[in-house]
């Protein structure tokens, strides 16, 4: 090596410390804690991949660096160099013996302290609350769920097709639309990519979209967001039974993957994983009529023909350790495109998947109408303009086939898998009825 050749210290992520024991490395992150025993400084640093204790004696750093380390504050950004040591007593099992410390950005008093804070305060500071170990863990589980969804659908032979966010018409009903100006026309933020996926399914057979959906619902329950993310598969030639079995494979596979890859995160969230370990197929099924009967037997006042509210779903799902499928809902409470039940035209070939432990509906699915005349009459019955759906009706004019699909919400699925009390923690920046910032 020539005298002019610089020795480059490798920059590593904390999670990769085991691969560098005994080596001099650089770590970049933020200080979460600092303590001193006089001549020794102890810093706990996070970098988004993990936590590591970093230790420096007064002789290990230059006087300027030692002074900087003594004055360092929570959430100050630092660049550190030193030798990685294995130490089972420390968080993560490793320690960095410091030889160099650089304060990249000194943080003033951090607003989120170890004391108790109210929910409104934490949501107002959501941009900082995300830095807490629990919130980081939740977001990592969310990312794993999304990855599982996409990997499983890819293995099942489905092709990802992107649906538009601006749409000219309603999908789930006109009362929850966000209207916006689209040059000289009116447009709406998408409630669902389903109608577009039906078109794509007639081209590719098996497709899915993944993206945001918007519902202007004036609801403040722990289950509702104004903006949420959904995966929506559509499957040409498939029946309701086909997609129910696909949903089951998707949920079993997703839960297994989270248990396999996110054990430490679930531990941080304090999720009882024994409940998730019981999620095996086949899932129980309830016909709508049987579900109504069970509600009556439980003493709930429920009128046949209505949709289930959150307390009804909780009553039904609490009977099981796994998700439960409720099928054949009344056509009147489902979207206009649902295929009627041949056994009872008052009902539809539809299904909701209810998560256990009171988390309610996480998937809505159904077989779509394939008859043009019936579809046209249903559009009229729902008070929707025929002109806005001419393109959709073309799917029935030109080679219509039976087809089915579903939508699964990321946030509600995450709430169930992670055991969250409220949906507001399931998104990095939740949009709720009275929450538009940060």
Model confidence over 190-230: pLDDT tens digits?
999 999 999 999 999 999 999 999 999 888 888 889 999 99
What's the confidence (pLDDT) of residue 230? 97
Q: What phi and psi, each to the nearest 5 degrees, are found at residue 257?
A: -65, -40
- Residue 21 banded pLDDT, cuts 50, 70, 90: very high
Residue 192 lies in a domain: yes
Listed in sequence order, the residues at least 6 apart from 151 whose beta carbon sits closer than 8 Å to its beta carbon are none
Same domain, 63 and 190: no
Q: Please indicate, yes or no, whether residues 250 and 175 belong to a single structural domain of this protein.
A: yes
Residues 229 and 337 in one domain: yes
Rounded to an integer, the average pLDDT of 365-370 is: 97
Whether residue 100 is found in the same domain as residue 131: no
Q: Specify the DSSP class assigned to residue 256.
A: H
Query: Are residue 98 and residue 130 in the same domain, yes or no?
Result: no
Q: What is the mean pLDDT of residues 52-77?
A: 96
If asked whether residues 36 and 99 sit together in one domain, one would say yes
Averaged over 53-69, what is the pLDDT? 96
Does any domain span residue 113? no
Given 49, 76, 105, the domain boundary residue is 105
Residue 29, in any domain of the structure: yes
The parent domain of residue 70 ranges over 14-105
Residue 6 lies in a domain: no
How many CA atoms does the CB half-sphere of 430 hold within 13 Å? 29
Average pLDDT over every residue of 311-315: 96
Domain end point (choices 42, 73, 105): 105
- DSSP annotation of 369: P
What is the model's pLDDT at position 220? 81
Taking residues 254-280, what's their average pLDDT?
Answer: 97
pLDDT at 171 over 70: no
| Residue 3 forms part of a structural domain | no
pLDDT band at 178 (very low <50, low <70, confident <90, very high): very high
What value does the mean pLDDT of the chain take?
A: 95
Report if residue 97 sits inside a domain. Answer: yes
Does residue 1 lie in a domain region? no
Least confident of 162-171, 284-293, 308-317, 321-330: 162-171
255 and 153 together in one domain: yes
Q: Which long-range contacts (CB under 8 A, 24 or more apart) does 182-187 make?
A: none
Residue 237 sits in the same domain as residue 311:
yes
Query: Residue 1 pLDDT > 50, yes or no?
Result: no
Residue 5's pLDDT is what? 53
Phi, psi for residue 101 in degrees, rounded to 5: -140, 130
Reported residue count of the chain is 438
Distance between CA atoms of 25 and 15, rounded to whole angstroms? 13
3-state DSSP assignment of residue 433: coil
Strand order, beta sheet including 166-167: 166-167, 185-189, 179-182
- How far is residue 247's CA from residue 156's CA, in Å, rounded to a whole number? 11
CATH number for 40 = 2.40.50.140
Residues 52 and 146 in one domain: no
Is residue 115's pLDDT more than 90?
A: no
Do 282 and 377 fall into the same domain? yes
Please indicate, yes or no, whether residues 88 and 133 belong to a single structural domain of this protein: no
Q: What is d(CA 223, CA 306) in angstroms, rounded to the nearest whole number?
A: 20
Residues 61 and 153 in one domain: no
Tell me the pTM: 0.94
Q: How far apart are CA 341 and CA 241, in angstroms?
A: 13
Q: What is the pLDDT of residue 170?
A: 65
Ranking 215-224, 238-247, 258-267 by mean pLDDT, the lowest is: 215-224
State phi, psi for 380 to the nearest 5 degrees: -65, -45
With a cut of 80, say whether residue 172 has pLDDT above it. no
Q: How many domains does the chain have?
A: 2
On whether residue 141 sits in a domain, the answer given is yes
379 or 1, greater pLDDT? 379
Domain with residue 399: its CATH number is 3.30.930.10
CA distances from 237 to 114, 234, 242, 328, 397 (A): 56, 10, 9, 19, 16
pLDDT score of 175 more than 80: no
């Amino acid at each position: 090596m020539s005298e002019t050749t610089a020795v480059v210290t490798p920059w590593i992520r904390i999670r990769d410390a085991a691969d560098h024991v005994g080596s001099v490395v650089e770590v970049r992150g933020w200080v979460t804690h600092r303590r001193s025993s006089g001549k020794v400084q102890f810093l706990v640093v996070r970098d988004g991949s993990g936590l590591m204790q970093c230790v420096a004696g007064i002789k290990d750093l230059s006087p300027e660096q030692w002074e900087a380390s003594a004055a360092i504050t929570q959430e100050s950004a630092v660049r550190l160099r030193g030798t990685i040591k294995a130490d089972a007593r420390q968080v993560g099992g490793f320690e960095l013996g410091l030889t160099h410390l650089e304060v990249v950005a000194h943080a003033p008093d951090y607003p989120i302290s170890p004391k108790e804070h109210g929910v409104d305060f934490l949501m107002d500071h959501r941009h900082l609350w995300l830095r807490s170990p629990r919130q980081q863990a939740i977001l990592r589980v969310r990312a794993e769920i999304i990855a599982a969804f996409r990997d499983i659908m890819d293995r099942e032979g489905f092709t990802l097709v992107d649906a538009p966010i601006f749409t000219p018409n309603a999908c789930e009903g006109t009362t929850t639309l966000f209207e916006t100006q689209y040059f000289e026309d009116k447009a709406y933020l998408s409630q669902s990519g389903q109608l577009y996926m039906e078109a794509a399914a007639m081209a590719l057979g098996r497709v899915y979209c993944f993206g945001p959906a918007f519902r202007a619902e004036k609801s403040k329950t722990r289950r509702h967001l104004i903006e949420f993310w959904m995966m929506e598969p559509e499957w040409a030639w498939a029946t309701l039974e086909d997609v129910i079995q696909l949903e089951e494979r998707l949920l079993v596979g997703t839960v297994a993957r989270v248990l396999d890859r996110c054990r430490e995160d679930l531990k941080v969230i304090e999720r009882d994983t024994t409940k998730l370990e019981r999620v095996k197929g086949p899932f129980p099924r309830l016909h709508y009529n049987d579900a109504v009967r069970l509600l009556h037997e439980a003493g709930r006042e429920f009128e046949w023909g209505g949709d289930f509210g959150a307390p009804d779903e909780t009553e039904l799902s609490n009977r099981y350790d796994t998700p439960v499928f409720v099928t054949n809902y009344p056509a009147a409470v489902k979207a206009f495109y649902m295929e009627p039940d041949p056994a009872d035209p008052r009902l539809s070939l539809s299904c909701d998947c209810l998560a256990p432990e009171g988390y309610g509906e996480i998937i809505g699915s159904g077989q779509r109408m394939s008859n043009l005349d019936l579809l046209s009459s249903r559009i009229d019955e729902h008070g929707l303009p025929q002109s806005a759906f001419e393109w959709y009706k073309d799917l029935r004019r030109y080679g219509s086939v039976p087809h089915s699909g579903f939508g699964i919400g990321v946030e509600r699925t995450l709430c169930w898998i992670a055991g969250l009390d409220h949906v507001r923690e399931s998104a990095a920046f939740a949009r709720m009825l009275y929450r538009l910032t940060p």
